[in-house]
Amino acid sequence: MSGTPGNPRGAQLWGGRFEGGLDPFFETFNRSLPFDRRMVDDDLVGSIAWAQALGAAGVLRQPEVDKLVKGLQKLRAACAHDPELPARAADEDVHSFVERELGELVGPLARKLHTGRSRNDQVATDLKLWLRRTAAGLDDALTELMRALVELADRTAALPIPGYTHLQRAQPITAGHHALAYVEMLARDRSRLADALRRADTCPLGSGALAGTAFGVDRAALARALEFRGGPTRNSLDTVGDRDHVAEVLFCCSMVMLHLSRLAEDWIFLGSHEARLVRFADAVATGSSLMPQKKNPDALELIRGKTGRVLGHLHALQVTLKALPLAYDKDLQEDKEGLFDALDQTVACAKVMTTVVDTIEYDEERCRTAASGGFLNATDLADLLVRAGVSFRDAHERVGVAVRRALAHGCELEELPRPILQELMPEVADSLARELRLDRVLGRRNAVGGTAPQRVRTEVRAWRRRLAR
């Protein structure tokens, strides 16, 4: 299909150089409208600003600007009313779609809009505008998930559960402390996202194909019109080939998914029949088509599985970018599908995890029992000896011997026969049973960052204030 003066449906914006038509299969292979149509509103917003910039530069007369802007606004309203309008078109890309549809509204004047502009700086602008408004949805989803975790932490601030290192029981912690660990991770994720968006907050429009525009467009005013707080980009060659912001947002999505996957793995394990410390609501679990007794944590498993998908999009883009020469190359058309899908999946996973958090139930009796046994208070016993004047290294050695004796007797440390306690740790033998109670073990971890119920409640209050802001 070759370009024609009327730019009919499906015609390209570059046809004058060509006589023959595209191979039909390659034409389909080459089209990006099936996915870049998601940026149609951004393309229209950028086009409105560009028309006004051309008017301010004296390239277009004011009546022409007014007619173009009115047509673009009418098309914008039509696309908002019928989001599938671009999907039914046969155009090569979203830019071709906008120009052709605009031509049907304002006639040949539409052909002046592209003056001084390239699809290279146009798509770079569209993508940044799309990213700015879409990433806000991810931030909102993360904020809601953080709120849900904070409320879970409040409900479970004093509930003991086993803490693990190397997937071996280590020390007792509170379920609230566990929930707040993920709040901290998600806060870093939000900070990373905000930082990436701040760096991306510069306006590519007016960079042309690679060498800048030849018309006297005020790029600073254009950046203000499009609400880019960082002003115009400073090098046209870099601008049209820059996809750092896409890679950074993909990295942000990857980190979010890594954190969601870790939480999913924690709870899948704690919800297994071997642990049975948490129960999943019917709303986020499914059954087996063969085994009637099964209740599977499918929501968490899907989140864990989709993590690989999102990480793959980041790696795919990095491989695409790694050897691209300046300035623009068609390889960069591959930046969008992965980005769109990564953001979609990350937002969806955050929302599903919020439902899991809202509905998860801890088996309090089993949690207390699990946190009370298995020598999880051994470190506290060593600390008690240190407070009594024993060096930590000697205390560590004595408690290790005490654990061996307890294993031989089939009892916990505080249940060792008194003669053994007097032999190994006479300094604390009289107070050991009281000081190794679970509530006292947890209560002593009250320093900033600790697991003590009082500390968890303090952190809950602090997070509520932060999230309210």
Q: Which residues are catalytic?
A: 166, 288
Distance CA 236, CA 229 (A): 18
Distance CA 416, CA 334 (A): 66
List, as one string, the DSSP characters of 138-160: HHHHHHHHHHHHHHHHHHTTT-E
Neighbouring C-beta atoms of residue 273, cutoff 10 Å: 5
Rounded alpha-carbon distances, angstroms, from residue 1 to 11, 100, 292: 7, 15, 58
Phi and psi at residue 318, in whole multiples of 5°? -60, -40
Burial of 163 (0-12, 13-18, 19+ CB in 10 A): middle
Phi and psi at residue 173, in whole multiples of 5°? -130, 180
Supply 182's token pair. 């993920």
Beta bridge partners of 362: 278
List, as one string, the DSSP characters of 52-65: HHHHHTTSS-HHHH
Supply 6's token pair. 């009327």
Residue whose entry in the numeric block shows the structure tokens 């946190």? 371
Q: Which residue type does 358 have?
A: D
